[in-house]
Amino acid sequence: MQITNAQRAAILVHALPYIQNYTGKIIVIKYGGSAMLNEELKDSVMRDIVLLSLIGVRVVLVHGGGTEITEMLKAVGKESRFVDGLRITDKESVDIVQMVLAGKINKGLTNLIQNKGGRAMGLSGIDGHMIEARMKDERLGYVGEITGIDSRPILDVLEKGYIPVISTIGCDRSGNVYNINADTAAAEIAGSLKAESLFLMTDTPGICGDVDDPSTLISEISLQQASTLKEEGIITGGMIPKVDCCIAALEGGVEKVFIIDGRIPHALLIEILTDEGIGTMFIKGD
């Protein structure tokens, strides 16, 4: 469908109030799932991030990389084993996690943003002791539980006009390195920055009354409603830890949290710059 110049102008005018609402404010985007593995979707997300940055939104990108870690471990002959959905990470494995997250993925995303016309700076949770952690469970090995976030390195990078691209590995005072869940890290980082919004990009439409029926999408949920939906069994399985991260971010000072479907091209722009949005928004009040 051909879009006329008048229609383009109308689209920009329609987006103006949303641009004004977000300009100068910090948003944190947790990037993962299909949007990270599909090259066309990856290209779309990076373009959206560059656009948001150019209109004055202070974007912080937090990423994981579980699939690529699994592939690299397999390549060196190590089997991936999980407990309660968390990867068992021995000393050799955590070195590979660090190499994949802080190296290949982080620098690849940083480079891609710059190729789209943005300015990006790749960071890891180790840099500046940004993400301090301790061992979560001895059964899991070097899987970390966050004990503190130092947001100064992130703010310094934002102040210089760059998009921070953060890989979710942390460390302790003894120099041990830990693999950190990306959703948890994004929520903690967003809270420490008192971000305007946190966006969790997933492979689901959001929170649905019936997980098998996207038409039952719940567009807005309060903290109290989130607890009720968990008790009623509507929020179940792998969505529970994501919702817990949403709750933690709101309680930490984030204004709004969104779970959005990263499989939809330009999902970020649709959620941020339109009336309807496409995912589930979590808010503090009723």
Is residue 210 a part of any domain in this protein? yes
Is residue 2 a part of any domain in this protein? no
CB-based contact 131:170 (threshold 8 Å):
yes
Tell me how crowded residue 129 is: count the other CB atoms within 10 A of its CB: 16
pLDDT for res 241:
87
Residues 6+ apart with CB under 8 A from 40: 265
The number of distinct structural domains making up the chain is 1
Confidence check: pLDDT of 184 > 80: yes
pLDDT band per the 50, 70, 90 thresholds, residue 255: very high
Phi, psi of 262, rounded to the nearest 5 degrees: -70, -5
What average pLDDT does the segment 85-112 reach?
92
Segment among 86-100, 136-150, 181-195 with least mean pLDDT:
86-100
**Residue-number span of the structural domain to which 105 is assigned:** 25-283
Question: Which CATH number is 73's domain given?
Answer: 3.40.1160.10
For the chain, the average pLDDT equals 91
Residues 6+ apart with CB under 8 A from 122: 102, 106, 107, 109, 110, 165, 167
Is residue 138 a part of any domain in this protein? yes
Is residue 12 a part of any domain in this protein? no
Q: Comparing C-alpha atoms, which of 167, 179, 181 is closest to residue 92?
A: 179
SS3 200: strand
Cα separation, 254 vs 214, whole angstroms? 27
Q: Which residues are catalytic?
A: 30, 33, 66, 183, 242
Per-residue pLDDT tens for 132-183? 999 999 999 999 999 999 999 999 999 999 999 999 999 999 999 999 999 9
pLDDT for res 86:
78
What average pLDDT does the segment 219-236 reach?
88
The more confident residue out of 58 and 227 is 58
Is residue 174 a part of any domain in this protein? yes
pLDDT for res 1:
61
Go through the chain and tell me how many residues it has: 286
pLDDT for res 234:
87
pLDDT band per the 50, 70, 90 thresholds, residue 12: confident
Is residue 157 a part of any domain in this protein? yes
What b-and-e string marks burial along 41-74, b requiring 16 or more CB atoms within 10 Å of the CB? bbebbbbbbbbbbeeebbbbbbbbbbebbeebbe
Q: The tokens of 20 are what?
A: 């004004």
Q: How buried is residue 135: exposed, middle or buried, by Cβ count under 10 Å (0-12/13-18/19+)?
A: middle
Confidence check: pLDDT of 239 > 70: yes
Torsion 61-208-252-285 (CA) sign: positive
- CA terminus-to-terminus distance, the chain: 40
pLDDT for res 111:
97
Per-residue pLDDT tens for 45-87? 999 999 999 999 999 999 999 889 989 988 988 888 887 777 8
pLDDT for res 67:
86
